[in-house]
Structure 1
């Protein structure tokens, strides 16, 4: 549970704070009880230091003296003995740069080796109970590209939250009630009747579901039960066809997502909310004076809570709206199951729903600020540089299953997490199957396989890795070795930042960084040398790199092949 970057920053904050107070005590700086905030960060160019702070500039006004004078006072009152750092310097107008000593680098390698598959995990989240709801595709048809992207983002964000110490639940909301299910039943009925009476004799509902999957389900029912429903009451017929087809569609969603390496902790059915939960939510809003009747419908005063217009909760036919169900569902998340924070991943077309749902949580007596909604932009598929919208095989819009038939799951999950969710993503189908360093997932996997190859070749020569002492690890002093170790040190904090910012793309970018820095290290530093201690130190570093690549790919649910 070590975080080398955070540990170093915390140590520096303590050193700087102690130095400031010492300088105030001995008169080098005027006394004050109101020190301003400052930052300690990793500079873009580590030749200027492993860590840097703007403390002198931040405090200059408080102390009423030039930033370089503040910086000099800090340097004269700080002791680096026994710390991670062996020197510091003033740069520019007053930046303080700190250089990590050999032992910090050695301890990073030692930590990665000792923590192994757990390296990267931290307790940052303090077991905060978080739900991530994602995909939640309509079970009346196949999943599309938005679901494919949302699935990869949601699953990897949940993993980052888990690794950073949160108590995470992955949830799929099954829309098995409401208008879309009624429309599903009408569509199935029409296709079923057309099997026996012909398409010309049975009109298809204008707003029905036209996909081939509806025909398939109707045919499956006919194959199993024949003409059983031909003369049945239409309502009975639609209900039986729905009861037959909907569970099969939900099972298909489940198996397709499992093929995509997504498994959920909870599959929550909307239909369960229609047994009292929706009525209770509406009653609570009514008791708070937040509903009114108009045009034979019951309305919610959404404009009082930031929405652009009021919303219907119950239609004139006495059937609750989708929004009413959504309020009840999120009330269940917070008030019944007691999640501390809820994260929903939605398509950008749901933008207008964000404020009204967060406002509804405030209206019903909860805290809308604990509901975070990630709006995900569109995916553009390209092949040969051209936009692709239709599957070659089916001639229909490309579905999730079409995609993973054509593209390795490793590539799909990696590519979908290469951009922030709020950025449009261009997915190059040709690049995703390419086995070259131009394909980023292949590039990362190849670094892992290359290390495995190094280990196999050395084993054939009778060389096996062994644990190294810190003194032996101190032997690694080249720029390439240090850059590699710095890169490994970042991993736990990269996960924390991905979790904090809801941006799992940080992890694919980090994986590419690790692979890039490793290739540079490998080309600059011979692993096999006559110097046994140095060889073992470098082998330990290689094993550390291998472990970190394996860990980040494991988090992303991407394979780490040992040969390619």
Structure 2
């Protein structure tokens, strides 16, 4: 019996108890889904639910009285061994050995679909992440969002949501101008402007701009007047830098569905449409020759200028247009991932959301990621050879590879600063979390390979009642949690939950491996014990592979 099946059984028991009058409730009072969790102590059973405490007030009964009504009924469900009331009204449920063991076959037969749910079905989510300006290589903060954002997108999809991964391409503004001036200066052999960009990559791009122009039969940009030359370096330089960013992200197993250009907002009239919409809603006013949005009506600390007195659009004007554009494209949830330096940005964005008549933190969510520090030899890395002043995606991937990089960045809550020990992540030891999980998967493959060579085949027999050792019940219980963990990670926007779950699962598997043999020893005859354990081994392999795929990490067959 899977946790989902037990949840359905509890829902059926509740509905029957209401129908026959044992519970003085209406069917509409019952939860759509009854949540079951693993008790902290195995002595308390396989699964527990607090649904009795949730319903007690509506029923006008003590929580324990509700739990007693449910316990007698759920205990009669096939596959349930016992149901006991504990504490203020918890219901602890122990499954029969065969019912618990049946999960192994369920997982193997489900394969790559195991763990997927439809809890977010109907949600259309626009997930914007990374969105680094094309003025330099991806720095380590953006790389963290690449790992976390892509993993979150995978988990949202595994929970039934329709997700569009979007990259906001900032191809306008002062930073792009500084980038172009830096390229031109470097091409001329001059020092970078005081507010410009340095690093070897600037020289590489400047040289490539000149080479591309001459190859195409165009004038050498350095022979043009400075204004024209700077425009050439801006257009070609941005294209080259963004092409590199795309290539690096692709190698990092991150693909976007939409690359949205900032220029499009202004060229399409989207800014004017957004201002017009807000004016219709009564939130726009004129003062000091400028156009303002009255965001203080929605909790902001001050009203915001949208169009300056000189007619130039303020930065927030693009935000207004971009948010409205996403909503008009049919997304009911807009999720934006921003760096730690954008924390002060939240108030105005939520006020903007409310001004459009939407609900902050429902239609619009903003996730703030904290800093990442790379440590090597016990010393923090401060700069990159190529970028000059920042640590980049290449510094991390070159040191530990894509798997370790993605896993290590996604395994901690994004709102916490983290230090990544590159020496640890390069080690093939159990202290390295990604190695620990990948090794567990490789071990399951090796166990299956050895079993096959010795004549153990799953299809020849399966008796779930034989999975009666404590290490087997522990492993089965952990396997049964995948769907719940994925759904929680998706709903809470916390993909690190899947990584931590995989580490716990790997630990449970390693302990089971140490205590139970799948292959016969010596002249021992192959029996259903071996075959049934092979089902459990292969179920573990399935869950580890499914979980690693959600993190964008490979599941190696040999290590």
* TM-score of the alignment, normalized to the shorter chain, above 0.5: yes
Distance change in 2, residues 1:8/1:319 (3 Å): same
Distance change in 2, residues 1:314/1:213 (3 Å): farther
Post-superposition offset of 1:213: 2.5
Which runs of structure 2 are paired with 1:470-509 in the superposition (5 Å)?
472-509=463-500
Distance change in 2, residues 1:528/1:357 (3 Å): same
Query: Is residue 445 from structure 1 mapped to residue 441 from structure 2 by the alignment?
Result: no
State the alpha-carbon separation in 2 of the partners of residues 394 and 157 from structure 1. Answer: 29
Distance change in 2, residues 1:74/1:221 (3 Å): closer
Structure 2 match to 1:152: 147
Which stretch shows the higher mean deviation, 254-263 or 213-222? 213-222
> What is the CA deviation profile of residues 24-59 of structure 1, one whole-angstrom value per residue up to 9, with x for unaligned ones?
55xxx8x56697989653311122112224455566
Post-superposition offset of 1:327: 1.3
State the alpha-carbon separation in 2 of the partners of residues 235 and 404 from structure 1. Answer: 38
Whether contact under 8 Å (2:451, 2:518) holds in the other structure is no
Structure 2 match to 1:45: 41
Query: Is residue 207 from structure 1 mapped to residue 207 from structure 2 by the alignment?
Result: no
Structure 1 match to 2:423: 430
Whether contact under 8 Å (1:217, 1:245) holds in the other structure is yes
- Which residue among 300, 303, 326 is the counterpart of 1:307? 300
Post-superposition offset of 1:143: 1.1
Whether contact under 8 Å (1:348, 1:378) holds in the other structure is yes
- Which residue among 384, 392, 402 is the counterpart of 1:391? 384
3-state SS in 2 of match to 1:41: coil
State the alpha-carbon separation in 2 of the partners of residues 363 and 74 from structure 1. Answer: 47
Whether contact under 8 Å (2:74, 2:83) holds in the other structure is no
Distance change in 2, residues 1:279/1:66 (3 Å): closer
Which stretch shows the higher mean deviation, 214-223 or 499-508? 214-223
State the alpha-carbon separation in 2 of the partners of residues 114 and 160 from structure 1. Answer: 21
Whether contact under 8 Å (2:9, 2:74) holds in the other structure is no
**Structure 2 residues without counterparts, runs of 5 or longer:** none
Query: Is residue 261 from structure 1 mapped to residue 221 from structure 2 by the alignment?
Result: no
- Which residue among 164, 169, 185 is the counterpart of 1:169? 164
State the alpha-carbon separation in 2 of the partners of residues 305 and 57 from structure 1. Answer: 37
Post-superposition offset of 1:309: 1.6
The number of residue pairs the alignment matches comes to 546
Whether contact under 8 Å (2:107, 2:539) holds in the other structure is yes
> What is the CA deviation profile of residues 246-276 of structure 1, one whole-angstrom value per residue up to 9, with x for unaligned ones?
1111110100101111011111111111111
Which runs of structure 2 are paired with 1:280-319 in the superposition (5 Å)?
280-319=273-312
State the alpha-carbon separation in 2 of the partners of residues 57 and 286 from structure 1. Answer: 48
- Which residue among 237, 242, 245 is the counterpart of 1:245? 237
Query: Is residue 137 from structure 1 mapped to residue 129 from structure 2 by the alignment?
Result: no
> What is the CA deviation profile of residues 462-488 of structure 1, one whole-angstrom value per residue up to 9, with x for unaligned ones?
43332644xx12221111111111111
Post-superposition offset of 1:332: 0.8
> What is the CA deviation profile of residues 192-224 of structure 1, one whole-angstrom value per residue up to 9, with x for unaligned ones?
3x33xx54xxxx433222343333222223345
3-state SS in 1 of match to 2:163: strand
Post-superposition offset of 1:165: 0.8
In the superposition, the TM-score normalised over structure 2's length comes to 0.90
State the alpha-carbon separation in 2 of the partners of residues 64 and 554 from structure 1. Answer: 47
Which stretch shows the higher mean deviation, 488-497 or 61-70? 61-70
Structure 2 match to 1:517: 508
Structure 1 match to 2:373: 380
In the superposition, the TM-score normalised over structure 1's length comes to 0.89
**Structure 1 residues without counterparts, runs of 5 or longer:** none
